[in-house]
Structure 1
Amino acid sequence: MPNSTSTAQFLLLALADRQELQLLHLCLFLGISLAALLCNDLILSTVACDHHLHIPRDFFLLHLSLTDLGCICTTIPKAMHNSLWDTRDSSSMGFVAQVFLLIFFFGAEYFLIIIVCYDRYVAICKPLHYGTLLGSRTCAHMAAAAWATGFLKALLRSANTFSLPLCQSSALSQFFCEIPHIKLSCSQSDYLRELGLLG
């Protein structure tokens, strides 16, 4: 197989073959993303403005809304652009940036959900110690750790995926940029590097 270490662009799968269906997908994406943006903005403004909601549960809910906004703003605009202009290509730097941001926001969300589970555990099983175990400083440290862990995970996964030489076609059978379906590498060490990263 020929070895090609970089590609100028990636080709994404089209949502539909006909322009009418692509415009329908655009309207559907626009409606769903506007509803999600409105709901998350309401959560953010309500938690920020109401002083009665400055408890750990709502603090973490605010951070979960931020990660949700990040995931929406990372994938939906490019998908809407592709549907509106009937394009499929994505530059390699844009592809890498979208993969990095998506993994970053999903990773942070994953660890924030774990923290919310711990918060609920403490609230139910140790209600008398709730204030001491989950003070404002502890909550800030836990949220910062979740964001930092998401960033580290995104950095490692992106670096691992895009540092390998690519030898297959740059046409991908997916609608937006994400790592799980990218199997373009011709390196024999790809599998071992992925296992090492997961370990």
Structure 2
Amino acid sequence: MGPQNDTQISEFFLLGFSEESELQLLIFGLFFSLYLVTVLGNLLIILAVISASHLHTPMYFFLSNLSFVDISFTSTTVPKMLVNIQMQRKVITYVGCIIQIYFFALFAGLDNFLLAVMAYDRYVAICHPLHYTLTMNPRLCGFLVLVSWVTSALNSLLHSLMVLRLSFCTDLEIQHFFCEPNQVVHLACSDTFLNDLVVYITAVLLAGGPLSGILYSYSRILSSIRAISSAQGKYKAFSTCVSHLSVVSLFYCTLLGVYLSSAVTHNSPSSATASVMYTVVTPMLNPFIYSLRNKDIKNIKSALRRLFGEEIIQKPIWWIFKNCF
């Protein structure tokens, strides 16, 4: 008898990190804390950019979009895991799994494209400063973000449709805390060659392309910085790129590290643990990275005061959460 058709599949089982019940409370508390910090940190960045007129620049426009994508990226995977732990179940429906794959691919792709767009913004600012305002006009900025969304949406739709064509049998256990596309594909009974081919082609085009653009932009930036005569001028020019370069390094190093290590070891449980780095930790750290050496973002308190009023900003953060429940 051939493999069952995928329309008969109703649910998958997300095995997560540990089968031990005593560790579930610890895992729930850890991920809930990380998720809360991620949402709050990125939301503050967005609110600061909206409320402060001096932050209405291309760089902060792209940063606010990146913060929104980071919130959405983490929200695609962590809430479902928290609900499963709370309800002591490990089930995700077939439809829910497909939806999760779609949004996971969508926001991962958007992270990739937005980082490339932000690198281009820094390239224009440093290498062509006199033409920066003219080049990075609102129309171009909006167009770059729109192209990023459309391309990522089409790419994620393609991957979702490729999973829908597969047939699954009885092995429906995913050794991960979310429907990681690669693991779902390799649970199928049917031939996955076409799926793997699509993954490789899209990875080269849609991941390799932006990464090449980032590397090219920074090679030109470094050349321009070396041509600056004063040490103070070099420091000032390079300091505008430090935050973005740190985020780029963190995102690509963790992402490539996870997939290269999993390809070598084929150890799914360790892959699930390592995936936390780019799905949870990196989106959480991005607001801190952009805030550490950024004088504009350090003024976030005054910016938010204009948005919410003096009284709420003066309250400690625990008071705000206390009055939300």
Same fold (TM over 0.5): yes
Who is 1:5 aligned against? 5
Return the alpha-carbon distance in structure 1 between the equivalents of residues 89 and 57 of structure 2.
46
- Tell me if structure 2 keeps the 8 A contact 1:168–1:186: no
The reply to whether residue 184 of structure 1 matches residue 218 of structure 2 is no
Return the alpha-carbon distance in structure 2 between the equivalents of residues 160 and 194 of structure 1.
10
Within a 5 Å distance, the mapping from 1:42-121 to structure 2 comes to 42-121=44-123
- Tell me if structure 1 keeps the 8 A contact 2:110–2:149: yes
> Given the two structures, how large is their TM-score scaled by the length of structure 2?
0.58
Q: Which amino acid aligns with 2:5?
A: T
In structure 2, list runs of 5 or more residues that go unmatched.
Answer: 202-325
Q: For the pair shown, which has the larger CA radius of gyration, 1 or 2?
A: 2
Q: 1:24 is matched with which residue: 5, 23, 26?
A: 26
> Given the two structures, how large is their TM-score scaled by the length of structure 1?
0.94
Return the alpha-carbon distance in structure 2 between the equivalents of residues 124 and 131 of structure 1.
12
**Deviation at residue 162 of structure 1 after TM alignment:** 2.0
**Deviation at residue 20 of structure 1 after TM alignment:** 2.3
The reply to whether residue 151 of structure 1 matches residue 161 of structure 2 is no
**Deviation at residue 181 of structure 1 after TM alignment:** 1.7
Return the alpha-carbon distance in structure 2 between the equivalents of residues 195 and 14 of structure 1.
28
Bigger helix fraction:
2
RMSD over aligned CA atoms reads: 1.5
- Tell me if structure 1 keeps the 8 A contact 2:76–2:103: yes
**How many residues are paired up?**
198
In structure 1, list runs of 5 or more residues that go unmatched.
Answer: none
- Tell me if structure 2 keeps the 8 A contact 1:12–1:88: yes
- Partner SS for 1:180: helix
Q: 2:39 is matched with which residue: 19, 37, 52?
A: 37
**Deviation at residue 128 of structure 1 after TM alignment:** 1.0
**Deviation at residue 198 of structure 1 after TM alignment:** 4.1
Return the alpha-carbon distance in structure 1 between the equivalents of residues 81 and 188 of structure 2.
25
Who is 2:127 aligned against? 125
Return the alpha-carbon distance in structure 1 between the equivalents of residues 84 and 189 of structure 2.
29
**Deviation at residue 196 of structure 1 after TM alignment:** 4.2
- Partner SS for 2:182: coil
- Partner SS for 2:183: coil
Higher relative contact order (CA 8 A, sep 6+): 1
Identity of aligned residues (%): 35
